Structure 1
Amino acid sequence: MYSSSFRSFALLALGLLPAVRSATLEVVVGGPGTLRYNPESVTAVPGDVVRFIFQQKNHTATQSTFEAPCVQAPGGFDSGYIPVAEGVTEGFPAAEFTVTTTDPVWVYCKQGTHCQAGMVFAINPGERLAAFKAAAAGGAAPTTASPTSTATTGAPSSTATGTDIKVVVGGPGSLTFNPSNVQAQVGDTITFEFRQKNHSVIASSFEAPCVPLAQSSPGEAGFNSGYFPVPDGQTTFQTWTVRVNDTKPIWAYCPQGNHCGQGMVFSANAVEGGSRSFQAFQDLAKQINGTSNTGGGYGNSGALHTTISGASAAFAAVLAIVALL
């Protein structure tokens, strides 16, 4: 039993301690010629804020799991894609995440194959950061990107493991996938070639054409290419590839602006006619006018808060205007 004098001394000592303040831990995302978070990990306590500062190119800060480093965790936070132009030198956009636990939080960039290239981050990883990076490099994402291509048609070409089907996305004055419906076998690949403006391809479902599959069908991750901005004068184009694992229909759409509501949707192995044909899928997207699309790439969710300021705000405004053209 403590004496009354000791209790008084202890209370006085506690009264002299400074108030505990939360820390803001800054993490730079991307930058000229780099695919990494800097630093790659931080140690934080509940109440601390991790501030992701987005630099050049187009990156995300997306929560994953240790077991699946390159797949968004169900209900996890996501900054959405935040593009930053090469010439920006200040006023970088930022997204803030408030730490609520001392447990590890795993993060990756979902743009293309950035995750597999080692663009991952962790809060309180302990001794497991190296293993997390190794798992990401092992190809934990459901899709992979392919090299730059200059193909101009949707005609299939032979590969060692199946057929590669080319699909052109967008182009001058075009809000279409071309071809918009293909037939594919198990082992085939579908390579999306991104043309002018700023497009993406995200898996959805027939019932919810303009909503990411992972959101409309919990437990199914689906695929997400991320955004590929292409200027008007571009003559070579980036591509992104999905491998076909079964013959069930694949439904997809472009989440940019109201592109889905204007009919910019895609399918593989859809029936030729009837209530679940590609035409029925596109008609439904137009009927709802994209209003059920809650998967736009520039939003945020969970405890992540996004802010854009300075030169980056002006660049974002330009992208918004371009999306309406």
Structure 2
Amino acid sequence: MAHTYGDERIAEWLRENEYHPRSSKHGSVSCLALLDDLLYESDLFREAAEAGEIVYEEDYTVGEGELRWNVDLVLGPPTNEVETPIEGDRQIAEANPEEIWLAIDAKSVMTEHQKARRNRQRDINGFADIMYHHYPGAVAGGVLLINIADQFRSPLRDEGDITEHDNIERLVEETIEIFRTIDRSEGEIDPNVDAAATVVVDHTNLDDDHETQLVEDPPAPGENSIVNYRTFLSIIVETFEERFLIGDPPNMATLREADTLRNELNEQVVELLHYVHEVGVTMEQGEVSEDSIEDLRETLGQLEDLVDGVEQRHAE
């Protein structure tokens, strides 16, 4: 049986279901379809999943406070042993991962494109940054559903209040461009997203004869575009395989320690510059205080301790 990819499946789902911005259903459909795409496209991933070496979980909370994020889909090694063979059509167990190797965030811009697209850009960047903070080395991907319909009925508006989308093709083209040019990791381990996809649909959310369609003609991204869904899938597969399934995976504890140390160094340098400036100003005024000198000396000592820590860490 021919495989149906995630971009086609979300369009199929929208044909039969109402889109609601406060529901997670459409995001779940996108993420589980992507999971099936990974199982279909990557032999290494499928073999690891079937062996119980990789599991998935939806709506997974990472971190707390300002560094908290509810991730739509995460994958990683299981916290507890998984019983094999895996039952069901999807040959991967749903279970709690011990650490996160892959995280996917699904977002949408269905109406009010001008405002929503910038919010989604901030969402994707914030998501990638938080994933890097908690699980440096995890592959982070974003899937953005974009509506190109001329009109749209939002379930949050009064009955009969239909939003008309003027200049919708231009708005969609501009939205795609935002995500085409978003900062990417490009195979490196850093706080940027590894890959982002834009899926364009024509969906009115009206109960009429208009059938929801997956849009593949311009302004939707072409097959060679970095935000094309299949290209996105290829990047995710390649990055995930190389980082976690071929050779030894990155040591996240070591990466977290390095990130913490780098942040401490940055903070210490900023503090040092502050006291250097303060001493310089008082020197010009001929009023250098012992307190300023002592603050500068103490900060230099703290910075030296950090540098010693860096040297010791890399000597091990």
What TM-score results when the alignment is normalised by the length of structure 1? Answer: 0.24
Q: Which has the higher helix share?
A: 2
TM-score, structure 2 normalization: 0.24
Tell which has more relative contact order, 1 or 2 (C-alpha 8 A, sep 6+): 1
Name the larger-Rg structure.
2
